[in-house]
Amino acid sequence: MSGDHTFSMTGRERNVLFGFMGLGLLCIVLTFFGDDAVHSRFWSNYLINAVFFTGVSFVALFILAAFTTAYTGWYIVVKRIWEGYAQFLIVGIILMLVLIIGLWGHFHHLYHWADEEAVAADPVLLGKSGFLNKYWYTFGTLIILGTWYFAFARPMRKLSLREDVEGHDANYSLYRKYKWFSAVFLPIGAFTSAAMIWQWVMSVDAHWYSTMFAWYTTASWFVACMAITIMLVLYLKGRGALPFVTTEHLHDLGKYLFAFSIFWTYLWFSQYMLIWYANVGEETTYFHTRINEYPVLFYGNLVLNFVVPFFVLMRNDTKRKAGTLFFVALVVLLGRFLDFFQMVKPGVLHTTHEALAHSGEAAATEAGHHASHFTAGFTIPGLLEIGTFFGFLALFIFFVFKQLEKAPLLPKNDPYLAESLHHHVQ
């Protein structure tokens, strides 16, 4: 290994990633043409992936900010990877822009509240239209995502890279500036991400509401981010790019995967149990639909995201074995995808039915009929969904690799570097 730990993608890596991106594109195209009249399967797949990866990059930024504020030292050896994730927010803006264009052009029927006729006839939706409207969706998304990227992710990355080149003065002023950005981002990120989650995901079930939902989704993103990180770190380490990442760091990443899987389960249980217990019709319908019509998603979600990580990672030694850790991270990543899948699909299918039924045309009615019996892609992810997800994942990894190429993998002037290099669990 060279002393400055630079990274460059090999031709093979590039080919594999492009191959998967191509596969993803193929799946997207196939989905689009094999779809119902309003392309609900295509658009909902797009929404799931766009929100998933934008969220992972948001959470990476949030983790950097939180760890910096909390004087965490051990993670410095993987800091560059999370910085790379956070830069993906710029792609997230573009991905969300497509949905915004679709909203204005009425290309998709993801959101019930976007259907003006339906809103006019529905007092509940009418009451929400002050928030659920295309102006809020557009400007909220652009301004908030723009703030995350242009006001935080990019300047923080620049500071971190400057630190590499310039080193430190006696006051550690670059580090202190980075810390200032981190502290300011925490409340801003916390407030704004909630608003975005309500818009992007919760409003898919436009009548339903849950105060917990934003935190629940953020926890889901967090676990997804950890899962991708663990797999990427293991891969890069196997390739010789991260010789300074030791079993101790992987142990800690594994702990986070374990702890936040449990935390997510806690939020899942609290939300589910309270709605189940009180049994208020407006709320219960959400879980009623999922248990009865989407049982694979409902129970699979718990198995992949709680049972597997809990029982495998409970032991200390499993967090220190590369193979086991990689396996669990992969299972959890698929589980996280399934979680977003079950958040989005039932609501979209419902809206699609309404849209198709109201259009009154014979062809559309037939298509609506078709959609209601179409299970793969709605009640369970089909091959096309999995292909699309891997396509987006490849895009994400490709982008992150591009970022990693721009700077040494070891932030050599970070004040906590020595702690991180000599990190020992316990």
Partner 1 sequence: MHAPVAPVREPLIEGHKSYHNITEDLCSPTEKAPSLAWIIAFVVSVATMTFGLFSLAWTIWFGIGSWNLNRTIGWGYDITNFVWWIGIGHAGTLISAILLLFRQKWRTGVNRAAEAMTIFAVVCAGMFPATHTGRPWFDFFMFPYPNTRGPLWVNFNSPLLWDLFAISTYFTVSLLFWYTGLVPDFATVRDRAVGFRKKMYNVLSFGWTGSAKHWQRWESLSLVLAGLATPLVLSVHTIVSFDFATSVIPGWHTTIFPPYFVAGAIFSGFAMVQTLMIITRKILNLQQYITINHIESMNKVILLTGTIVGVAYLTELFIAWYSGYLYEQFAFFNRAMGIYWWSYFGMMACNVLSPQIFWVKKYRRSIYITFLMSIFVNIGMWFERFVIIATTLARDYLPSSWSYYTPTWVEIGIYVGTLGIFFTLYLLFTRLAPVVAVAEVKHILKTAGDQYIKQRATDNHASEVVKESNH
Partner 2 sequence: MSQHTKEVFYGLYNDEEDLLHAIEEANAQHLEIMDVYTPFPVHGLDKVMHLEESRLHIAGFVFGALGTMTAFGFMTWVFTRDWPIIFGGKPYWSVPAFIPITFELTVLFAAIGMVVSFYTVCGLGPGVSNPILDERITDDKFCIAFETDKADLDALKAFFSKTGAGEVHTKTI
Does 418 contact partner 2 by CB under 8 A? no
Q: Tell which one of 269, 299, 370, 402 touches partner 2 (CB under 8 A).
A: 269
357-396 residues near partner 2, rule: CB under 8 A: none
Which has the closest alpha carbon to 97: 46, 155, 45? Answer: 46
Is the Cβ of residue 143 or residue 273 nearer to partner 2 in the bound state?
A: 273
Q: How far apart are CA 231 and CA 224, in angstroms?
A: 11
Long-range contact pairs involving 363-368 (C-beta distance under 8 Å, separation at least 24)? 363/37, 364/37, 367/36, 367/37, 367/38, 368/36, 368/37
Q: How far apart are CA 86 and CA 161, in angstroms?
A: 14
Does 276 contact partner 2 by CB under 8 A? yes
Does 370 contact partner 1 by CB under 8 A? no
Cα–Cα distance list, 243 to 3, 258, 298 (Å): 11, 24, 40
Does 16 contact partner 1 by CB under 8 A? no
Does 279 contact partner 2 by CB under 8 A? yes
Number of other CB atoms surrounding residue 272 within 10 Å: 18
Q: Provide the minimum distance between the beta carbon of 276 and partner 2 in the complex, in angstroms, as a whole number.
A: 5
Place of tokens 């400055």: 4
Is the Cβ of residue 282 or residue 361 nearer to partner 1 in the bound state?
A: 282
Q: Provide the minimum distance between the beta carbon of 266 and partner 2 in the complex, in angstroms, as a whole number.
A: 10
Q: How many residues bind partner 1 (CB under 8 A)?
A: 62
What proportions of the chain, in percent to the nearest 5, are helix, strand and coil? 80, 0, 20
Does 7 contact partner 1 by CB under 8 A? no
Q: How far apart are CA 31 and CA 388, in angstroms?
A: 9
Does 302 contact partner 1 by CB under 8 A? no
Q: How far apart are CA 149 and CA 229, in angstroms?
A: 20
Q: Contact positions toward partner 1, by CB under 8 A?
A: 1, 3, 69-74, 123-124, 127-128, 131, 167-168, 172, 175, 183, 186-187, 190-191, 194, 198, 207, 209-215, 243-244, 255, 259, 262, 266-267, 270-271, 273-275, 277-280, 282, 410, 412-413, 415-419, 421-424, 426
Q: Contact positions toward partner 2, by CB under 8 A?
A: 269, 272-273, 276-277, 279, 314
